[in-house]
Structure 1
Amino acid sequence: MVPSLGELEMQVLQQVWDLQPCTERQVSDLIRQDRDIARTTVLKTLQRLESKGIIQRIPGDGPIHFKATVERKKLLPQLVRQFVNTILGGSTDPLVAYFADSRQLTAEDLKQLKSMTSRLSRDRKSNDPTQE
């Protein structure tokens, strides 16, 4: 089961993924560029992520270092699935509508979406016994 992660937990985890192994100070310094937040809050968030099994401490002398225990490419699809099931009630329609209406999608994003939908269509056709 995927643990639920809040906005700050996701932001901290993104930094850990990008920097690992990293110290609390490294993560805190980067997050504090965008948010007015105390270092102790970042440390507490790291501790929560550790208790959820998402990151772990690396033993050693000196400052405590952290690394992720779950790869980004494995966790993010699970979090999206959890979001669709719990927030969107299992329907992907609002998500698809968001992508269709979004002005933030780059040409590369659109290319990837087209590729994914083409692959999905092919997969569905190959698994549909009425198509043979």
Structure 2
Amino acid sequence: MNKNKRVPTSAELNILNVLWRIQPATVRKLHDHISETQKIGYTTVLKMLQIMHEKGLVTRDESTRAHVYSAANSVEQTQSSLLSDIVNKAFGGSRFDLVMRALGDEASSKEINEIRTLLDSLEKNNK
């Protein structure tokens, strides 16, 4: 798999969600934000960022004493990678099966109408 297309783990995604809001950020700044909602050690955040850097999930500016991290990909790019991974792993590559499972019996009338509008728009663009 392409290094920049790696799918983040759940723990890595937690860090990315904070990083997307506050980037660029030092390990200290990230730790301070993350520790507001979950108990996690500074060295754990540091180690995870090092691993994420090796995987290509974050970039690191080493020009200052305190390294500064940024997400390597946008929220949308990461969501697309995660969705593609789930479609392939859990639904045998079928987007239709994913949509059917996602909608199930729980979609509201409003959601169904919004989906119908989206599908109509996609259909127009494909003609």
User: Same-fold call, TM > 0.5?
Assistant: yes
Deviations 1:50-97 (A, max 9, x none): 001121111333422111222222232122111111122223324443
In the alignment, does 2:53 pair up with 1:50?
A: yes
SS of equivalent residue, structure 1 residue 56 = strand
> Aligned equivalents of 2:45 and 2:115: distance in 1?
34
1:1-132 superposed matches below 5 A: 1=2, 2-92=5-95, 93-102=97-106, 113-123=115-125, 126=127
> Aligned equivalents of 1:95 and 1:48: distance in 2?
33
TM-score calculated relative to the size of structure 2:
0.76
**How many residues end up aligned between the 2 structures?**
122
> Aligned equivalents of 1:62 and 1:111: distance in 2?
53
1:64/1:102 Cα in 2 relative to 1: closer, same or farther (>3 Å)?
farther
Aligned residue in 2 for 1:129: none
TM-score calculated relative to the size of structure 1:
0.74
Task: State percent identity of aligned pairs.
Answer: 25
1:25/1:120 Cα in 2 relative to 1: closer, same or farther (>3 Å)?
same
SS of equivalent residue, structure 1 residue 34 = coil
**Larger RCO, structures 1/2 (Cα 8 Å, 6+ apart):** 2
Unaligned runs of 5+ residues in structure 1 are 127-132
